[in-house]
Amino acid sequence: MADEQRQGTIYGFLAYLAWGLFPLYFHALEPAGAWEILSHRILWTLLLCLVLLAITRNLGFLGGLFRDARRLGAITIAALLIAANWTIYVVAVTSGHVTEAALGYFLNPLVTVMLGVLVLGEKLRRLQWLAVAIGVVACVYLAIDYGSPPWISISLALSFAAYGLMKKRIGGHLSALEGLTAETVVLAPLAAALLLFVLPSKDLTWSGHG
């Protein structure tokens, strides 16, 4: 249990570090717009996942997934929640709202704790409640200092916390790679349709820029 908690803490730190660096990467992709970035993110992620599954000879899990309507439905809900989170984040960053996006991921642990207590029935110790209270005060101060209701921040926190709750409901039936593959399989048709039929070709940078 201690090893799992230590490993989870390290992975969590690395995930937030990566999210913190994304704005620099999105800036380097200009003039690509948010919707093009999102579509390519989904499609290339799916390709990478399929290659890795083929190497590990684990592509067969997809057949079992599509035969299990209940689990596929849960995966679809999780995929749509994380897609909403990605969309809000990329649009926020590419439209000059990096600070508000950052506040969203600062709020996220507090929303996650709230769901853990209210929905999953988990208990907090006194010092943990104190830590939550300090986090709430910090978030309220940052929101007031921002000067307007932080709707982007709230949307990011709620969508990502809901995604985490949904993944908790799904449980450990899928590995991290399998879960990511399943989610991108669900989202890939939407991403492809966005690139092929929705976005004007003149606005796409994939074929028009070096």
The reported pLDDT for the residue numbered 46 is 95
Q: How confident is the model at residue 210 (pLDDT cuts 50, 70, 90)?
A: low
Residue 6 lies in a domain: no
Identify whether the C-beta of residue 190 lies closer than 8 Å to the C-beta of residue 82.
Answer: no
Residue 10 lies in a domain: no
Residue 16 lies in a domain: no
> Residue 81 and residue 156: Cα distance in Å, rounded?
10
145-191 confidence digits (pLDDT tens): 877 778 898 899 999 999 988 888 777 677 888 889 999 999 999 99
198: DSSP letter: I
Side chain identity at residue 45, one-letter code? T
Residue 169 belongs to domain spanning? 33-198
> Residue 209 and residue 106: Cα distance in Å, rounded?
35
Domain count, the chain: 1
Residue 20 lies in a domain: no
